[in-house]
Structure 1
Amino acid sequence: MKIDVIQALQLSPEDSARWTSLQALQPRLDSPFLSPQWAKAVATAQADQGDRVKVAVIRDDDGQALAYLPVRVKAGVAMPAGAPMCDYQALVSEHDIAVDPRRLLAALKAQRLDFCHMLADDETLARHGRGQADSWIVDVSAGYEAYAT
């Protein structure tokens, strides 16, 4: 496996499409905060600091993207792209993809990855958490009226 790190605003249309398709494969990844559009929006909103929003792209030996991890890197610390206000995070990947976190850190040029709302079943990062707690979401997949009643 190879890990490429690119600025969120430099994400190619092909990578954006692949990321979106990987997200669609797993209902647990169905969140706008795990999308390529979110990473790009955060980078755009950061203006002069938008270059800190990066995406680690894990590729197989043929160059096919297997996973995406959007982060913001500052002073050797990688954190969710939208942290601290929106820090929902997961490795958006094919099923059962695990990556050595040390390789991720090295590729990101970071000494640590801070996270607090990682999906509990994330193969790569969840086992490195210090604790676990429920996190609430609002399911409006059937429309707001169905949710409200």
Structure 2
Amino acid sequence: MASQALMAELKRPSALSAAERDAWIAFTNANPALASPYFRLAFAECCEAARDDTRVIVARKGGAIFGFLPLQIGRVSYARPLAGPLGDVHGVITEGDTEIDIPSWLNAAGVPLFEFHSALAIQSCWRPGEAWRDGSWIIDLANGYEAFEDDRSAVEPKAFRNIRSRRRRLEADHDVAEFRMDDRRPEVLETLFAWKSAQYRRTQVFDVFSVRWARDLITEIARRDDAGFRGIVSSLTIDGELAAIHAGMASETRCHYWFPAYDPAFNKVSPGLLLLLETARDAADKGLTSVELGPGDYDFKRNLGGYQIPLSAGCMVTRSPAAALRHAARALADTVERAPLGPMKTLPRRLLRRADKLSAFYAV
């Protein structure tokens, strides 16, 4: 029995041995649930290039490599998924999810607490810590792009009438429209960052790209073109002016649609939506079978997504001061919310959520 004892250690992705790298690749190749580029070793390497706190728990049983859990470990050992708040999907990298006990992995690796979101709910190991669920929308390209449009047009006829109208308006009102599916011009990515920051200011939400590591991560991914993983920067130019840009990434079978932005001056033709559809068309032409849109209750995701992948969010803890402190803070918020304080009763919960978000971006 002792030979089957769990052993786990923390490593940087760059410090993984050749055997560990081979096991990672074998696990992702064998497990269809790990189709997303988020699960590729190259993505972990990009995260390490952008953030010094990128680590991987390497778990072994009986000396054999059992699985990997990539994560970011903040300055107080408060762990979060790879890429922190930018991660749309994550999970355990292994052949299956049987006999995986995440708290045991954390404890063996010396990680006191793991706040997770967007974990693959199909992996049952997340259920003990699960607090709520979400879903990631998928554009199904298994039968090609035309089949996708035909299928979704039948389900969402109004949405696709609007898309056809936007295409006609683009052709009628503008002389030249050019889609570039691999736009490596450096000014394109810089324009994307500027547009996204302006969008965040308009909508009064936290500016993701005010944090240096977020810009560095997208820039690093955009450079990559490896077997099984490549960065994507695509653009739509109208009459010589950039109208829409998207930065994302792709594995062998799935494109992840990540950071889109557009110039509001071209709003009448919905340039962002048209670029998304061309991105899907290009993905199908390259043999990919899906485009993942991520979680979020947006019309375009519901209209284009054929199905959702269930995602889990919550927290895994071990017996530690950090875990005890988190538990006490949540317990206090629960107590205040039950008190007859009117609108003020939700203030502690809101403050905790804001603190969690900021600490995630600033790697606390």
Are 1:144 and 2:283 an aligned pair? yes
CA distance in 2, matches of 1:139, 1:115: 27
Q: Kindly report which structure 2 residues correspond to 1:1-149, keeping only aligned pairs within 5 A, or say none.
A: 1-46=6-51, 50=52, 52-61=53-62, 63-74=63-74, 75-138=76-139, 141=253, 144-145=283-284
Shift of 1:106: 2.0
Residue identity opposite 1:8 in structure 2: P
- Bigger fraction of residues in helix: 2
Residue identity opposite 1:76 in structure 2: S
**Deviation string for 1:99-123 (max 9, x for gaps)?**
3222222234332111110001213
Aligned residues: 143
Shift of 1:42: 0.4
**Which 5+ residue runs of structure 1 have no aligned equivalent?**
none
What do you get for the CA RMSD once the two structures are aligned? 2.3
CA distance in 2, matches of 1:23, 1:100: 20
Residue identity opposite 1:30 in structure 2: A
TM-score, normalisation: structure 1: 0.83
CA distance in 2, matches of 1:16, 1:83: 22
CA distance in 2, matches of 1:139, 1:71: 29
**Cα distance, 1:59–1:135 mapped onto 2, change above 3 Å:** same
**Cα distance, 1:126–1:118 mapped onto 2, change above 3 Å:** farther
**3-state SS of paired residue (2:14):** helix
**Cα distance, 1:4–1:108 mapped onto 2, change above 3 Å:** closer
Residue identity opposite 2:71 in structure 1: V
**3-state SS of paired residue (2:132):** coil
CA distance in 2, matches of 1:16, 1:32: 16
**Cα distance, 1:7–1:127 mapped onto 2, change above 3 Å:** same
**Cα distance, 1:109–1:60 mapped onto 2, change above 3 Å:** closer
Structure of larger gyration radius: 2
Q: Is the 8 A contact 1:81 1:87 kept in 2?
A: no
Range that drifts further, 138-147 or 73-82: 138-147
**Cα distance, 1:40–1:107 mapped onto 2, change above 3 Å:** farther
Shift of 1:96: 3.7
Shift of 1:12: 1.7
CA distance in 1, matches of 2:59, 2:118: 21
Q: Is the 8 A contact 1:87 1:115 kept in 2?
A: no
Q: Is the 8 A contact 1:78 1:108 kept in 2?
A: no
Q: Is the 8 A contact 1:9 1:44 kept in 2?
A: no
**3-state SS of paired residue (2:46):** helix
CA distance in 1, matches of 2:24, 2:284: 30
**Which 5+ residue runs of structure 2 have no aligned equivalent?**
1-5, 142-252, 255-281, 292-364
Q: Is the 8 A contact 2:72 2:82 kept in 1?
A: yes
Q: Percent identity?
A: 22
**Deviation string for 1:77-117 (max 9, x for gaps)?**
11112111124211011224333222222234332111110
Shift of 1:145: 4.1
**3-state SS of paired residue (1:124):** helix
CA distance in 1, matches of 2:71, 2:104: 15
Shift of 1:138: 4.5
